[in-house]
Structure 1
Amino acid sequence: MQSGMRSGAEVCLLELKGIYKSFGGVHAVRDVTLSIDHGEVRGLIGPNGAGKSTLVNLMSGLLTPTAGTITLDGEAVTRKSAHQRARKGIARTFQNLRIFPSLSVEQNIDVARYAGRGGALPEEAIDEFGLRDKLVQPANALSYGDQRRLEIVRGLALRPKVLMLDEPAAGMNEEETEALGRALTWVRQEADCALFVIDHDLKFIMTLCERITVLDMGAIIAEGTPEDVTQNPKVITAYLGEEAGLDA
């Protein structure tokens, strides 16, 4: 199952073909094939235990596939480390925050600037994510929501081609989630990178993303527009156990 909006011989940005990942006898990811185009905002949803975090770990290099290939701009990165992939243009955030707590906000951002592909972080990003007046504060002094926003800005400081966000709205209230959505819309328009967003908040992800991939038991069961997937019987069954309608 492969999606995309490419034409002619244009190479997609990030492509997975036939990805499997087994842990002993457990198949956590099964025959996943998908592509993300330049500038695309793709969502990934699925029930708990569907394999979403495992898939992101495979894409970012924290895990190596049991089988299959991953390419970035046509270059094979399947066996490259997470650090090498970050240099190539794959950045991510984590479901459980991984900021440097004792460093200031600005120092957290600078670490990524030095480790990334080069080029300057758009200064507007700091403003869009509400961190301008917090640059000298230790990261561990920030509110939980600001720590999540810092992790996203740090990812952008790598100057990625694709930024993967693992549960970026987790723990945020409705107002914070709406503000995050506006900031990520700015990223889509101004930061010149694709977004791959994993979240349990269906309203958030359906509003933000133009295409959705649905994972269940390690395999893709649906792909398409938000409207398509919310009406897909397989998706409804995976979430609710019956064909009763999915409230996004």
Structure 2
Amino acid sequence: MLELNGITKTFGGIHAVEDVTMSVAPGEVRGLIGPNGAGKTTLVNLISGLLTHSAGSLLLDSEPLDHLRAHERAARGVARTFQNLRVFPSLSVAQNIDVARYSGRGAEIVEAAIPEFGLSDKLNQNAGSLAYGQLRRLEIVRALALNPRVLMLDEPAAGMNEQETEALGRSLTWVRTHSDSAILVIDHDLKFIMSLCDKITVLNMGAIIAEGAPEEITKNQEVIDAYLGETDERAA
């Protein structure tokens, strides 16, 4: 289980993340939504170790992560993708996946994930030659090579059309049935988030303003005012 207790991050007196307390259980898919600048990516950066929190504590299966650097957290099974793609374009798809492997721990799920994510016939291609949606899928498979205990996806459906997004949702549902990872997903595609996630946490100005099942979040007036807006299309 991933546990955040009072996580706070300040930049020059500005609270980018403020007193965030939440937990994500093994096998759970948690959505993280909110307006631009709400602190979502900053929170993922804090969990993965790219940033250091100003206050609070992080635990993974009751073991503290606070003192660990990013690569040490990755070795513990904290995996992520990025809002801005970070693949090695001059390396093959297979080589991109291999750079994330730790002692073969993730071999079994990765070998199954490669065809599930439509990459079987791309393994020998340079990653730079892939279409955008395939690059997104490659990042997820590479993250799975860590055999993650926590898998964090930062806008995995960004730039995808409706058909690609639906296919991605099916693949991520496959991941949850083949892994006990705690999965945290940031995305602005509400249809995608609402159909994929068990529970949703909403951030605004760095703080949690609501948590609950998708149907509860869509009816929460504070969330509507801060993010969803008064429209019947929000749950479409």
Q: TM-score, length-normalised on structure 1?
A: 0.91
Matching residue of 1:64: 52
SS at match of 1:221: strand
**In the alignment, structure 1 residue 88 sits paired with structure 2 residue 88:** no
Matching residue of 1:218: 206
1:21 aligned to which of 3, 6, 9 = 9
For residues 153 and 90 of structure 1, the distance between their equivalents in structure 2, rounded to whole angstroms, comes to 14
Matching residue of 1:186: 174
Shift of 1:79: 2.3
User: Equivalences for 1:89-238 in 2 at 5 Å?
Assistant: 89-113=77-101, 115=102, 118-122=105-109, 123-238=111-226
For residues 143 and 208 of structure 2, the distance between their equivalents in structure 1, rounded to whole angstroms, comes to 27
Unaligned ranges ≥5, structure 1: 1-12
Matching residue of 1:6: none
- Percent identity between matched residues is 69
Matching residue of 2:32: 44
Contact 1:88 1:117 in 2 (8 A): no
For residues 97 and 240 of structure 1, the distance between their equivalents in structure 2, rounded to whole angstroms, comes to 26
Shift in alpha-carbon separation, 1:121–1:97, aligned structure 2, 3 A: farther
After superposition, give the CA deviation of every residue in 1:144-186 in whole Å (9 maximum; x if it has no partner).
Answer: 0000000000000111001000000000000000000000000
Ranked by relative contact order (alpha carbons within 8 Å, sequence separation 6 or more), the top structure is: 2
For residues 188 and 118 of structure 2, the distance between their equivalents in structure 1, rounded to whole angstroms, comes to 24
**In the alignment, structure 1 residue 30 sits paired with structure 2 residue 18:** yes
Unaligned ranges ≥5, structure 2: none
Matching residue of 1:54: 42
Shift of 1:191: 2.5
Q: TM-score, length-normalised on structure 2?
A: 0.96
